Structure 1
Amino acid sequence: MKFLATTAIAALMATGAMAQDVTIRLAHLNPEDPFASHSGAMGAVFKSLVESNSNGRIEVQLFPNGQLGKDNEVIEQVRSGLVESTISSSGGMAQHYPLVGVFDIPFAFPNIGVASKVIDTDSSFGEAFVADLEEKTGLEVLGLLDSGGFFAFTDSVRPIASVEDMDGLKIRTMTLPTHEAMISSLGGQPTPLPWAEVYTALQTGVADGQMNPVPIIAFAKFDEVQQYLSITNHLITPYIWTMNAEFLGSLSEEDQYLVKWAADVATDAGRSMSRVIEASEKGLPALAAKMEVNVVTPEEQAKFAEAAQPAVRALIEENYGAEGTAMLEAMLSSIEEEKTDF
């Protein structure tokens, strides 16, 4: 749901001027710099809008860089009320809401335009996905966006230009069974690790490589410990912004409106910042200065899809049953609908 403009917020805030002071602790895994990561941008915009439009009654405290723990741990803190809000990867959310794995069908999204429309709380699929997540976790979803763009592979063994190049590579994945199934189907060795351990694992050879969007590869400085960057565009996964539902419900109606409106604006800012980073010298050009970059051809992409899609689909059907299959089909249908707008 999109929210009204700042003038409407100001009018509503005037009626809630006597409300009690509030602190919102917002955690995420990425750098605080709003020009380095989408969640950094989201945190900065949210803090500015909430604090200024509440005349300082509501304070937003930011905890970036995984300061409060691993992704899944912080989600648990939000569910229990120890922390008010977090912006999470699909890997962290999967341990609380496994159906997030439906996003992991390789090459399902044809381009970033379609992905941006589908991975949104206002899309037909986004509304259904959010409603189900909220019902099963008890969390309130404030924002839904992509994790920074399409995934690419990095590694220190060889360029990945074909499925055959994946053979035997130890690829770090999020703790997602769907990601593990995909890597296995391509001939690699999935190495699930929490985010905080990835750089060291790549540095020491525990993992040969990993997969992430270009902005994340850049701010994580993987170019320091990886030699090759292969542009495959094989996945795009969500980041999900949640808040403790009881906490949100305890706020006045005006403050609830402010929080949701500010989060909506901040989510748009985060989505836009990912595109800016991708297109700027902070993205691919910076990585190309230190890494050998190759782009996988459409013909080879089709072979990747042919090898990996059946394995991931079978895992979704096996692990999540009819419910997972229905969610997957709803997402694929939404993708097809959005394709017609381009």
Structure 2
Amino acid sequence: MKISFKKLALSALTATALIASPAFADKVIRLAHLNPDSPFDSHSGAMSAVFKSLVETGTNGSVKVEVFPNGQLGKDDEVIQQVRDGLIQSAISSAGGIASHYPLVGVFDLPFAFPNIAVAQEVINLNSPFGQKLAADIQKKTGLKVLGLLDSGGFFAISNSKRPIKTLDDMKGLRIRTMTLPTHEATIASLGGQPTPLPWAEVYTALQTGVADGQMNPIPIIAFAKFDEVQKYLSITNHVITPYIWTMNEQFYQSLTPAEKAVVDMAAQVAVQSGVGISRIIEASAQKGLPKLGERMEINAIPPAELKKLAAAAQPAVRQVIVEKFGPEGVEMLEAMTANIEQAQK
């Protein structure tokens, strides 16, 4: 009988929870994320490290934090289900992972909706009007408490192994890996590419073997995933920016004392700020950002006139998907987001 590593890991995790001694901690937060554990290599690595330190010191050890990075407990959507089921207590998840539990996350994918990173940071924030509306709706529909909301590492760029993307025509026929999101697939298809939805764990191999010609992700993710090893061209499209959503099992959260809740809330807020900061640092870093990627990849920015052509092709297609897939709720959520974007620019 074949037993997957994921099931073994989860079984071991459950067994450990059952035999854990109260002498070590009254409560344990098992926190999972997909990215490297190092706080200097990924935003979720930084967030989990800061959160662990602040929670354990702030509660004087009554709450411990155990971190499971690099997708150790399974794919993103599976880990979120584990949080919902109470098998683990918390997860920092991509939009692609949360989409199967909360499809309305797709409203973020309206191409070229955010004019710059400052506006994006102000809107993709648990304290913004839109962030509060989104968090409340996620909790209503999934039962999950939202601890944090931030961008997934910056604006998306498109890399590929065939040619630089300088005009709309250059997208034609390129097989671009996307998350399993209909909005992302519609974006690539509207630009003339062939969307190739794949789980994160399969992306590097797909690029290496030619199953996909390219992919789209923020610069820090392209860097730590080492896509420069299997991609030649990197085009700065800045066409979309997606959230990372940090959730916690609501029943576990309610089991905390008021003092412990205050520490967890504070620690999550500071951890998110750390994650946002490290993403901007990685983007600019000569060791891990664009300068580093430029050692192996040919990097180009797309002229504003061509970006307008891309936006004109992609925005109507994605709006249509939002209307068809999500109905009036999707339209309302999209309008709330765009209103907050306009407000943030004043």
Among candidates 236, 258, 262, match of residue 231 of structure 1: 236
Partner of residue 15, structure 2: none
Per-residue Cα deviation, 1:207-256 (whole angstroms, up to 9, x for no partner): 00000000000000000000000000000000000000001111111111
Among candidates 111, 135, 149, match of residue 140 of structure 2: 135
Shift of the alpha carbon at 1:57? 2.1
Partner of residue 319, structure 1: 325
18-27 or 210-219, which moves further after superposition?
A: 18-27
Partner of residue 45, structure 1: 50
Alignment identity in percent? Answer: 67
Partner of residue 221, structure 1: 226
Runs ≥4 in structure 1, deviation > 6 angstroms?
Answer: none
Query: 2:63 aligned with 1:58, yes or no?
Result: yes
Per-residue Cα deviation, 1:169-212 (whole angstroms, up to 9, x for no partner): 10000010000011111111100011011000100111000000
Letter in 1 for 2:283: E
Q: How many residues align?
A: 323
Among candidates 24, 27, 30, match of residue 29 of structure 2: 24
Partner of residue 290, structure 1: 296
Matches within 5 A, 1:188-227: 188-227=193-232
CA distance in 1, matches of 2:135, 2:55: 23
Q: Secondary structure at the match of 1:152?
A: strand
CA distance in 1, matches of 2:259, 2:170: 56
CA distance in 1, matches of 2:58, 2:260: 10
CA distance in 2, matches of 1:19, 1:35: 29
Query: 2:343 aligned with 1:331, yes or no?
Result: no
Task: Structure 2: state its 5+ residue gaps.
Answer: 1-22
Letter in 2 for 1:163: L
Asked whether the 8 Å contact 1:72–1:92 carries over to 2, the reply is: yes
Shift of the alpha carbon at 1:53? 1.4
CA distance in 2, matches of 1:134, 1:260: 16
Among candidates 170, 174, 177, match of residue 172 of structure 1: 177
Per-residue Cα deviation, 1:96-132 (whole angstroms, up to 9, x for no partner): 0000000000000000000000000111111111111
CA distance in 2, matches of 1:119, 1:19: 37
Letter in 1 for 2:334: L
CA distance in 1, matches of 2:37, 2:25: 28
48-57 or 182-191, which moves further after superposition?
A: 48-57
Partner of residue 146, structure 1: 151
Among candidates 89, 108, 118, match of residue 113 of structure 1: 118
Q: Secondary structure at the match of 2:92?
A: strand
CA distance in 2, matches of 1:20, 1:147: 32
Shift of the alpha carbon at 1:20? 6.5
Instruction: Tell me the TM-score normalized by structure 2.
Output: 0.92
Per-residue Cα deviation, 1:8-53 (whole angstroms, up to 9, x for no partner): xxxxxxxxxx997111110001101101110000000001101111
Task: Structure 1: state its 5+ residue gaps.
Answer: 1-17
Letter in 2 for 1:191: T
